[in-house]
Amino acid sequence: MQIIFLSFAILFILIVLSTALLSVAYRFCKKAFLNILGIGEEINLASAILMGALLFSMGLYANYCMGPLRNFMALTKTAEVMEMIKFSGYLLLLVLLCFGLSFLVTFLCFKIVDRFSPEINEAKEIRENNVPLALIVSVIILATVVISREAFVMALESMIPYPPLPYR
């Protein structure tokens, strides 16, 4: 019964936290990421597609951190107050890490695509509302997030202090 309560509490925390972080990320992307591209505050369809890929990649990375956290919860199997507080702290830290890393990956993907296609100025094309190019860059960003999943999860697993397990 304690695990069920803890699961629903975590679900509620994640819904509130992810909605708040994605809202903040949207505002940040609108100001910082689009300014880096030289688009400014006015969003066209191509930049909206690119921002959508960024926000979706943030959600994917946040989703990927649930596996290590679920493992941590299953191994501790306690609902003591201190364990719940410790677990909530790891949850918050990992979700923030996921959002930060997804922004970094998205920015790096955009810059790498830009380097591999010197004949096309992606930022200029997105400013000029080149929707097909924005779709291609967005798919590259999302595919990179999916491909890098295992390395990301492995890094997360190494950060969680699992309890010692008996070996047979």
Convert the pLDDT of each residue in 70-113 to its tens digit.
Answer: 676 666 665 565 666 666 677 677 777 777 777 787 778 888 88
Q: Which residue has the higher pLDDT, 165 or 34?
A: 34
For the chain, the residue count is: 168
Collapsed DSSP state (helix, strand, coil) of residue 64:
helix
Q: pTM score, two decimals?
A: 0.74
* Residue scoring higher pLDDT (161 or 127): 127
Percent of the chain whose pLDDT exceeds 90? 10
Residue 136: band (very low, low, confident or very high) from pLDDT cuts 50, 70, 90: very high
On whether the CB atoms of residues 52 and 138 are closer than 8 A, the answer is: yes
- Can you tell me the distance from the alpha carbon of 126 to that of 138, in angstroms, rounded to the nearest whole number? 11
